[in-house]
Amino acid sequence: MKYADLHVHTTESDGTFTPTRLVQAALKCSLAAIAIVDHDTVGGVAEAKAAAVGTDLEIIPGLELTAQNENQEIHILGYFLDYQNQSLLEKLKLVQQNRVERVYKIVNNLKDLGLTLNPQAVFDISGPGTVGRMHIAKALLQEGLVASTAEAFRKYIGDKSPAYVLGFRFSPAEAIALINQAGGVAVLAHPYMLHNDALIPEFAGYGLQGIEVYYPEHSQAMINFYLDLAKKFNLLVTGGSDFHGAVKPDIKLGMIKLPWELVEKLRQEKR
């Protein structure tokens, strides 16, 4: 049997494994494919593909695109897209700039809460990759302002926490369209985080093609529910570990093993 993990992150966003190291780890796990889905960037795909040359590991090009639905952050996964598509790359530059501006806003909010953090400390940690809240959490930990990254999210920068900033560029409909225009398949990431399953058929109306049913935070009851929902609205079923490396030590690469038949169904949907 062949299996895939369709949700992995690298140092190009908020993971701790370089694309090359991730390929090496995937080979040790005997995975047949991994999907590189870094946040708002396709920067790690080329290196991963180069590292996998001469092996049996397939690198599926993708990304995890951040969108905003009213006051809620939504993540849309894109699979099998053209990661060299110039229109896509230009749009992603805008999103990445948006993320830089967001760091300054969150740092200002933290200052109002009595925590002084130099934004450059965050950018030093993120490096050239897409900057995100995990980098802010690591900077807070590095400066001794929190005892753990988990505390940083819980008390300060998690969703609905006092320093949190939303303000993303795309609506779900726009994110789905951008993925489709780059030849990709649009899939809703970790749907349990919506806390509003009524949005899923709405997103399907925008062109959403699948939902991430198999996910570490999904109970068996949730899995059964989303399988039924996928069938009802004719959506593809995907899954992945959401592997980030050391920043999420309990999440292991390949802990979600997606059967190959579901990978092939996803591939067939490619535009």
Residues 134-147: pLDDT tens digits?
A: 999 999 999 999 99
Q: Is residue 162 part of a domain?
A: no
Same domain, 143 and 236: no
How far is 153 from 87, CA to CA, in rounded Å? 33
Q: Is residue 97 part of a domain?
A: no
**What is the arithmetic mean of pLDDT over 111-117?**
97
Residue 46 is part of which domain span?
A: 3-92+168-268
Same domain, 88 and 172: yes
Q: Are 32 and 58 in contact (CB under 8 A)?
A: yes
In the predicted structure, residue 125 carries a pLDDT above the cut 90: yes
Q: Which of 162, 174, 209 is nearest to 69 (CA)?
A: 174
The CATH number assigned to the domain holding 128 equals 1.10.150.650
Residue 130's pLDDT is what? 93
Q: Is residue 45 part of a domain?
A: yes
**Dmax (CA) of the chain:** 54
**What is the arithmetic mean of pLDDT over 42-61?**
98
Same domain, 172 and 262: yes
The CATH number assigned to the domain holding 242 equals 3.20.20.140
At which of 121, 138, 157 does a domain end?
157
Over the stretch 61-102, which tens digit does the pLDDT of each residue have?
999 999 999 889 999 999 999 999 999 999 999 999 999 999
Q: Are 169 and 95 in contact (CB under 8 A)?
A: yes
- The count of structural domains within the chain is 2
Same domain, 57 and 181: yes
At which of 118, 133, 157 does a domain end?
157
Return the structure tokens found at 8. 């992995």
Q: Give SS3 for 141.
A: helix
Residue 85's pLDDT is what? 97
Over the stretch 155-210, which tens digit does the pLDDT of each residue have?
999 988 999 998 778 999 999 999 999 999 999 999 999 999 999 999 999 999 99
Q: Is residue 22 part of a domain?
A: yes
Q: Torsions phi, psi of 176, nearest 5? A: -60, -45
Q: Is residue 99 part of a domain?
A: no
Same domain, 42 and 172: yes
Residue 150's pLDDT is what? 92
Q: Is residue 228 part of a domain?
A: yes
Q: Which of 204, 193, 271, 198 is nearest to 236 (CA)?
A: 204
Q: Is residue 209 part of a domain?
A: yes
DSSP state of 153: I
Residue 199's pLDDT is what? 96
Same domain, 108 and 241: no
Same domain, 145 and 181: no
Same domain, 258 and 180: yes
Residue 96's pLDDT is what? 92
Same domain, 182 and 248: yes
Same domain, 85 and 178: yes
Same domain, 110 and 25: no
Residue 207's pLDDT is what? 97
Same domain, 253 and 178: yes
Q: Is residue 252 part of a domain?
A: yes
In the predicted structure, residue 271 carries a pLDDT above the cut 80: no
Over the stretch 209-268, which tens digit does the pLDDT of each residue have?
999 999 999 999 999 999 999 999 999 999 999 999 998 999 999 999 999 999 999 999
pTM for this one? 0.94
**HEC readout, 57-116:** CEEEEEEEEEEEECCEEEEEEEECCCCCCHHHHHHHHHHHHHHHHHHHHHHHHHHHCCCC
Residue 112's pLDDT is what? 97
Stated as kind and residue range, the H or E segment containing 174 is: helix 172-181
